[in-house]
């Protein structure tokens, strides 16, 4: 992420490092891949767990997603987004493909929109994570409908028509609330693109 | 059934969250290729979504790392995508199970055209003279469709059909055109065809026949000559089509802005 943060410019340096690492991954550098793994497997797994829920399936999906990062690293284009976003997009997509497949339909009712943060494991990680604090604060600044819609769509892996159904809200309303809410989050978090 | 009607531009948020599917997603991606502000907004919102992922980080069990690293040792990597004019600029990776080269609703004919109208120039260099005429007409069609999708006033709406499918239409009043596509329509016997109509208060005009569905979707059909107050509708008609509808429409969508 090209994010202007409150801390000393460490984050940005870290992320530029990721872009460069992915370039090395594209050339078959397994050490570089391991470094990418160490930085992004946690966020990828956390995101996938939120969407997929089942731990065993989440592990599988995480493996698929990270192997995809290895396979497709040459397709990453830093001009179009950060390395972290490229990887998270793959992770989210894989998770969503898993839960939206017909076979998973029966499992859907077991998923819920609450981010796993209530989980002890997650909470522990999150406490140590200042970024998470900032995100929580910014989420707190949204309207309830914005926050719920964004959370259901991203952490829940629901399509926006599904979100509209879950919230008994008009489709167009959900669509614009998600956009408005994301714009507010973007500005609150100082993400600049 | 719920009617969807909205501006293509405002799909940036749900697209950045990967919360839009199917035809609507395909159409938005088409739109995105021409709409630079949309692309910039999607980028910023996608980076924002990444912050949400970062905040939910959870260490995977160590065996995941072992397996992934072991797999990389035996997995061949993809070569870089060769940059050339007309290459599809894609914000999101493709969904699993989709064809790698073209939006899934693009006509089969256009598979030869390698997706985008701009790419045709490149393709033309590689195909024989014989194929060029077919390609030219496909390109013209593709460009006309792309023009509607990219129109600043383009609006999209979807509606369920009475036989369990979904019809989606993109309307540009400025262009006076609509692009119409469907998903999940039942396959018809060879003696029947889906026929598209522009239905105005004064009269009903033919707007073309829907091609046979491929992979559950019908390729987009472009209809011109849109008039104020028109609705679009589809009926099932004898093969070859008719000059006026003879059956009850399976879907009608009013195009009021």
In the CATH hierarchy, which top-level class contains the domain A112-193? Answer: mainly alpha
Question: Taking the CB of residue B59, how many other CB atoms lie within 10 A of it?
Answer: 14
Q: What is the percentage of chain B residues whose pLDDT exceeds 90?
A: 25
What DSSP string runs through B94-132? PPTTS-SSS-TTS-GGGGTTTSSHHHHHHHHHHS-GGGH
Q: According to the model, what pLDDT value does residue B234 have?
A: 94
Q: Please judge whether A159 and B57 are an interchain contact, meaning their C-beta atoms are less than 8 angstroms apart.
A: no
List chain A domain ranges. 1-109, 112-193
Using the Cβ of B9 and the Cβ atoms of chain A, whether some distance falls under 8 Å is answered with no
- Give me the mean pLDDT over the B102-112 stretch: 31
Per-residue confidence at B79, pLDDT binned at 50, 70, 90?
A: confident
Q: According to the model, what pLDDT value does residue B4 have?
A: 42
Per-residue confidence at B123, pLDDT binned at 50, 70, 90?
A: very low
Nearest chain B Cα distance for residue A9, angstroms? 16
For the record, the structure tokens of B153 come out as 């006033």
Is the pLDDT higher at B55 or at B120?
A: B55
Interface of A with B in 96-135 (CB under 8 A): 96-97, 100, 115-117, 121-122, 125-126, 129, 131-132, 134-135
- The 10s digit of each residue's pLDDT in B7-31 is 788 899 999 999 998 888 888 888 8
Q: How far apart are CA A27 and CA B58, in angstroms?
A: 28
- The 10s digit of each residue's pLDDT in A77-87 is 988 899 999 99
Q: According to the model, what pLDDT value does residue B83 have?
A: 54
Residue of A nearest to B22 (CA): A159
Name chain A contacts of B48, Cβ cutoff 8 Å.
182, 185-186, 189, 191
Residue B209 has pLDDT above 80, yes or no: yes
CATH of domain A1-109: 1.10.1740.10
Nearest chain A Cα distance for residue B194, angstroms? 27
Residue B131 has pLDDT above 50, yes or no: no
Is the pLDDT higher at B4 or at B191?
A: B191
- The 10s digit of each residue's pLDDT in A37-75 is 999 999 999 999 999 999 999 999 999 999 999 999 999
Q: Please judge whether A43 and B21 are an interchain contact, meaning their C-beta atoms are less than 8 angstroms apart.
A: no
Per-residue confidence at A15, pLDDT binned at 50, 70, 90?
A: low
B65 in Cβ contact with A60 (< 8 Å): no
- Give me the mean pLDDT over the B196-207 stretch: 88
Q: According to the model, what pLDDT value does residue A127 have?
A: 41
Q: According to the model, what pLDDT value does residue B129 have?
A: 41
Q: How far apart are CA B79 and CA B222, in angstroms?
A: 36
**Nearest CB to B10 within list A71, A131, A176:** A176
Rounded to the nearest integer, the mean pLDDT of chain A is: 82
Q: According to the model, what pLDDT value does residue A193 have?
A: 63
A33 in Cβ contact with A25 (< 8 Å): yes
Ordered by where they begin, the domains of chain B are 155-254 (2.60.40)
Residue A93 has pLDDT above 70, yes or no: yes
Name chain B contacts of A154, Cβ cutoff 8 Å.
17-19, 49, 52-53
Name chain A contacts of B59, Cβ cutoff 8 Å.
41-42, 45, 125
Q: How far apart are CA A118 and CA A134, in angstroms?
A: 17
**Nearest CB to B71 within list A44, A67, A159:** A67
Rounded to the nearest integer, the mean pLDDT of chain B is: 75
Is the pLDDT higher at B6 or at A22?
A: A22
Nearest chain B Cα distance for residue A30, angstroms? 8
Using the Cβ of B16 and the Cβ atoms of chain A, whether some distance falls under 8 Å is answered with yes
Is the pLDDT higher at A96 or at B144?
A: A96
Residue B59 has pLDDT above 50, yes or no: yes
Interface of B with A in 179-198 (CB under 8 A): none
Residue A149 has pLDDT above 90, yes or no: yes
Q: Please judge whether B6 and A175 are an interchain contact, meaning their C-beta atoms are less than 8 angstroms apart.
A: yes
Query: Please, how many CA atoms are within 13 Å of residue B84, restricted to the half-sphere of its CB?
Result: 12
ipTM score for this prediction: 0.83
Interface of B with A in 83-102 (CB under 8 A): 89, 91-93, 95-97
B107 in Cβ contact with A103 (< 8 Å): no
- Give me the mean pLDDT over the B125-137 stretch: 46
Task: List Cβ neighbours of A23 (8 Å cut-off, separation of 6 or more).
Answer: A73, A76
- The 10s digit of each residue's pLDDT in A154-187 is 999 999 999 999 999 999 999 999 999 999 999 9
What DSSP string runs through B211-226? PPPBTTEEEEEEE---
Residue of A nearest to B13 (CA): A179
Reduced to 3 states (helix: H, G, I; strand: E, B; else coil), residue B220 is strand
B162 in Cβ contact with B250 (< 8 Å): yes
The radius of gyration computed from the CA coordinates of chain A, to the nearest angstrom, equals 17
- The 10s digit of each residue's pLDDT in A116-142 is 444 444 444 444 466 778 888 999 999
Residue of B nearest to A62 (CA): B64
**Nearest CB to A193 within list B5, B44, B61:** B44
């Amino acid at each position: 992420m090209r994010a202007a943060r409150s801390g000393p410019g460490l984050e940005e340096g870290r992320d530029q490092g990721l872009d460069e690492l992915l370039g090395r991954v594209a050339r078959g550098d397994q050490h570089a891949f391991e470094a990418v793994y160490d930085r992004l497997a946690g966020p990828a797994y956390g995101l996938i767990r939120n969407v997929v829920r089942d731990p065993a399936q989440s592990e599988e999906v995480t493996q698929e997603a990270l192997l995809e990062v290895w396979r497709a690293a040459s397709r990453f284009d830093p001009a179009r987004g950060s390395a972290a976003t490229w990887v998270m997009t793959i992770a989210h997509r894989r998770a969503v493909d898993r839960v939206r497949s017909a076979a998973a339909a029966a499992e859907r009712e077991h998923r819920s929109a609450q981010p796993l943060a209530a989980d002890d494991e997650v909470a522990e990680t999150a406490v140590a994570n200042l970024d998470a604090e900032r995100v929580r604060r910014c989420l707190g600044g949204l309207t309830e409908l914005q926050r719920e819609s964004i959370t259901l769509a991203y952490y829940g892996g629901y399509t926006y028509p599904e979100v509209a159904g879950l919230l008994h809200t008009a489709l167009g309303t959900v669509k614009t609330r998600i956009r408005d809410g994301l714009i507010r989050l973007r500005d609150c978090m100082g993400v600049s693109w | 059934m719920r009617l969807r009607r909205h501006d293509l531009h405002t799909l940036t948020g749900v697209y950045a969250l990967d919360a839009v599917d199917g035809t609507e997603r395909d159409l938005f991606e088409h739109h995105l290729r021409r709409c630079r502000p949309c692309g910039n907004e999607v980028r910023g919102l996608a980076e924002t979504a990444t912050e949400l992922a970062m905040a939910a980080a959870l260490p995977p069990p160590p065996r995941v790392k072992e397996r992934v690293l072991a797999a990389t040792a035996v997995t061949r990597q993809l070569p870089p995508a060769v940059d050339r004019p007309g290459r599809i600029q894609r914000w999101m990776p493709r969904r699993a199970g989709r064809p790698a080269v073209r939006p899934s609703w693009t006509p089969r004919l256009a598979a030869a055209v390698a997706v985008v109208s701009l790419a045709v120039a490149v393709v033309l260099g590689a195909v024989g003279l014989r194929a060029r005429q077919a390609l030219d007409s496909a390109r013209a069609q593709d460009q006309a469709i792309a023009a509607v999708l990219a129109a600043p006033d383009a609006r999209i709406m979807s509606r369920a059909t009475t036989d369990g499918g979904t019809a989606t239409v993109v309307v540009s009043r400025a262009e006076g055109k609509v692009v119409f596509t469907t998903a999940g329509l039942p396959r018809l016997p060879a003696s029947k065809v889906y026929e598209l109509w522009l239905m105005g208060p004064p009269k009903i005009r033919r707007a073309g026949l829907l091609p046979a569905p491929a992979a559950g979707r019908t390729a987009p059909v472009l209809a011109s000559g849109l008039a104020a107050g028109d609705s679009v509708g589809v009926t099932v008609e004898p093969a070859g089509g008719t000059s006026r509808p003879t059956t009850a429409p399976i879907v009608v969508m009013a195009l009021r802005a």
